[in-house]
Amino acid sequence: MVEKSFKYVIVGGGVAAGYAAREFAKQGVEPGELAIISKEAVAPYERPALSKAYLFPAGTARLPGFHVCVGSGGERLAPEWYKEKGIELILSTEIVKADLATKTLTSAAGATFKYQILIIATGSTVIRLSDFGVQGADAKNIFYLREIDDADKLVEAIKAKKNGKAVIVGGGYIGLELSAALKINNIDVSMVYPEPWCMPRLFTAGIAAFYEGYYANKGIKIIKGTVAVGFTADSNGEVKEVKLKDGRVLEADIVVVGVGGRPLTTLFKGQVEEEKGGIKTDAFFRTNVPEVYAVGDVATFPLKLYNELRRVEHVDHARKSAEQAVKAIKSIEEGKTIDEYDYLPYFYSRAFDLSWQFYGDNVGDTVLFGDNDPKSPNPKFGSYWINDGKVVGVFLEGGSPDENKAIAKVARVQPSVQNLDQLTEEGLSFAIDAQDVFFVRMRLTGSNLALNEDCKLLINQGTGLSIAWVKRPLNRVAHYPARASLQHASLVIWDHFH
């Protein structure tokens, strides 16, 4: 049986693996040192494309067009790139056993792979209705979407069931993107989900009302507050009907189920410390086992900004965590140090002509702003989340690149807000203006300091060093003392930083 040995092995060949490979190449890796072992038959690609352009009838995305790292505007790493760099891509190979004590992986075909350093990047798998024993859930043409093979099967069904009927089970990311993609293919679409509105883990009722209205205007039927409890099939074993808990029965030629995922950690159970359903890591994606790292969907890591451990199932984190792990590996080898991972959560989605971005944390009070009329020719709206008097999260539909940059900055800087009505009124311009926020370290002398609304003191250490934020561009910061109502105090700009 084959036995191979590498300095570095990445198990899993998805988004994180691809971005890790690029970072290894950047940092310097010798031919033969690095291997990626993947169950999939293709080199790492940008997985989000599977629920978007991969399914479109026109402008269709196909490999090699969307190999990593095109999703973040980087170089496209086609299979030849790995060859040139001497990185071994071991495809169509499922690892079925991982022995972290002897640093050995075993494939389904019985091949063994030894490593010095392991990066776990196995991602997630879908939750299946058959896991809950839903009757008839193994009928043909009931699809799940995680890997390119799943997408290929769905594309075939879309062709075979031209102008047919589809039922989408689930109202999350996959449900919303798939409903749009099938509708664009002229399929008659119904969505079914139990929650009172779509994407309840992120969307507020106000945000969801827009998307539900927009989808309804496109002719998508939305059935809320119930679940699929069974399926009937025709004599070919193909799905024919979806039975709902409330007694309704929907005709279906195609069913797509998007009811969530779970991280693929089973191989490592009992061998690594787990937390919140994932593999626990530090800020460098090191697990508790020496020389074993975990990145992407499987990692539960310290989210510094919120001072808590989190697992994040989004592509931006998969990319960045992979890069951080490789930097950490290399820095240890070179006896250097790197900064801790300091991630700002970022999620996005696109469907029809819509496109939204979200940054930060969706906790606390919410303020909806802008034009969220589903019939509007150019809808542009968003929501702020305010926790402990600070803006901690921002959602924006229809933002320009600059506007999206502005909301990202707000979520990172977390400016204070006293008045939620004012925030509603200012809407997006609050985020745009907040880009002018500077933190200013200053020395205060004297007392009785009164600042106007453009400046707020964050830490006042009496007449010592203080930190304030100043809602002014830099050139005006220099003149700030003249604008503030300073009484018996002098203020010297000490330093400034974003």
Ligand X SMILES: Cc1cc2nc3c(=O)[nH]c(=O)nc-3n(C[C@H](O)[C@H](O)[C@H](O)COP(=O)(O)OP(=O)(O)OC[C@H]3O[C@@H](n4cnc5c(N)ncnc54)[C@H](O)[C@@H]3O)c2cc1C
Applying CB under 6 A, which residues contact ligand X? Answer: 11-17, 37-40, 47-48, 50-51, 94-95, 121-124, 145-147, 173-174, 264, 267, 296-297, 313-316, 318, 347-349
The residue with its CB nearest to ligand X is 14
202 or 486: CB nearest ligand X: 202
33 or 147: CB nearest ligand X: 147
Least distance from C-beta 434 to ligand X, angstroms?
24
Least distance from C-beta 481 to ligand X, angstroms?
45
Least distance from C-beta 381 to ligand X, angstroms?
20
Least distance from C-beta 359 to ligand X, angstroms?
12
Least distance from C-beta 187 to ligand X, angstroms?
17
49 or 468: CB nearest ligand X: 49
147 or 212: CB nearest ligand X: 147
50 or 368: CB nearest ligand X: 50
267 or 468: CB nearest ligand X: 267
Q: What values do phi and psi take at 107, rounded to 5?
A: -90, 170
Least distance from C-beta 148 to ligand X, angstroms?
9
51 or 300: CB nearest ligand X: 51
Least distance from C-beta 92 to ligand X, angstroms?
9
Least distance from C-beta 392 to ligand X, angstroms?
19
136 or 345: CB nearest ligand X: 345
